[in-house]
Amino acid sequence: MQPSSTMVVPSESPYRLSTRHTLEIGAIAVLIGFIYARTLAGLAEDWWNEPSFSQGMLLPPLAVYFAWLDRRPLLALPATPSWQGLWLVGGGCLMFLAGKLSAEFFLQRFSFVVVLAGLIWLYWGAARLKRLAFPLVLLSTMIPLPALVYNTATAPLQLFASETAARIAQWCGVSVYRDGNIIQLAHMSLGVDEACSGLNSFSALMVAALLLGQFLCDKLPARILLFLLSAPLSIAVNVLRVAGTAILADYNEVFAMGFYHAFAGWLVFVVGFVAFVGIAKLVHAILEK
């Protein structure tokens, strides 16, 4: 007879932990706090100093809130601790070490979520880990994109945004000449910088896609599709932002570079969110009949 890979620990109440498990979890929490203190502090500093990452401050309490809302169905599942969770914990530790050695912040930060998932698997089992999948995915979105991805994608997206925005402005009767990421109008020129590539709004719209998918879609394929659409939608709304700036600047330069330019960042998110609501309902209607 082969030994089981799980350790079934009976308990009188799903809300209570044994003294041994409480001490173990406390020791692990202290160890994780010691290892990840500088990493998480750097992440919080990015949230505070970079406006495009500021939504990250809301995501940890939001993930905890969703886990708390689901606590009764979660704790109703049997706790079946499994040593297989150690593989995930080990993978997260190796990811953290690789990030340290290569000075890659994304790997260091993402390893925290991997280690957390591994500990849940180790102490609670695969069923409860699956139940906590959404809070963990939501927690992973608090981490900014890797620098390699950001730097590689920014320039092509800037050129795409400037070219498409120039064509839209021409269709609207505006005389436009484009040179790289510079849109030359009759009386002024507009430079399409990194903020207009769509990557800065991608993080916020990605979170919006996850939340709307959770509330408006019942099946996993619909949620995944909605999440994948967050990338092209963020690029599209930024193209409209640039095109709107060019069109308005041709008629009223002061308004375009003043109030509209300051308000356009919020407008991108609002338009993207409203578009996501419509897309979510459409996806729900098509895939979940």
How much is the pLDDT for 9?
A: 45
Angle at 67 (CA atoms; ends 202, 280), nearest 5 degrees: 40
Average pLDDT (133-157) is 86
pLDDT of 8-51, one tens digit each?
Answer: 444 444 455 567 777 877 888 899 989 999 999 999 999 998 87
Residues 152 and 278 grouped into a single domain: yes
**pLDDT above 80: residue 69:** yes
Give the mean pLDDT of the chain: 82
pLDDT-wise least confident of 21-25, 119-123, 161-165, 166-170: 21-25
Boundary-marking domain end, from 70, 105, 140: 140
Highest mean pLDDT among 61-70, 188-197, 277-286: 61-70
Q: How remote is the C-alpha of 28 from its chain's centroid?
A: 27
Residues 107 and 176 grouped into a single domain: no
How much is the pLDDT for 5?
A: 47
Residues 134 and 165 grouped into a single domain: no
Does residue 240 form part of some domain? yes
Does residue 11 form part of some domain? no
Assigned token pair, 162? 């400037």
Residues 227 and 120 grouped into a single domain: no
Average pLDDT (234-251) is 80
Residues 82 and 107 grouped into a single domain: yes
How much is the pLDDT for 257?
A: 63
**pLDDT above 70: residue 74:** yes
* 72 burial via Cβ count (<10 Å: 0-12, 13-18, 19+): exposed
Residues 114 and 192 grouped into a single domain: no
Residues 43 and 165 grouped into a single domain: no
Q: H helices within the chain, ranges in order?
A: 19-49, 59-69, 71-76, 85-102, 105-124, 126-131, 133-140, 147-171, 199-216, 220-228, 230-251, 253-255, 261-287
Residues 168 and 226 grouped into a single domain: yes
Does residue 3 form part of some domain? no
Number of domains present in the structure of the chain = 2
Boundary-marking domain end, from 140, 165, 199: 140
**pLDDT above 70: residue 176:** yes
Residues 170 and 266 grouped into a single domain: yes
Contacts of 19 (CB under 8 A, 6+ apart): none
Structural domain of 64 = 19-140
Residues 130 and 158 grouped into a single domain: no
Residues 50 and 136 grouped into a single domain: yes
Q: How far is CA 5 from CA 10, 121, 190, 289, in A?
A: 16, 12, 62, 39
Does residue 43 form part of some domain? yes
Average pLDDT (117-146) is 92
Alpha carbon distance 15, 22 (integer Å): 12
Boundary-marking domain end, from 88, 108, 140: 140
At 178, phi and psi to the nearest 5? -110, 135
Does residue 32 form part of some domain? yes
Residues 67 and 136 grouped into a single domain: yes
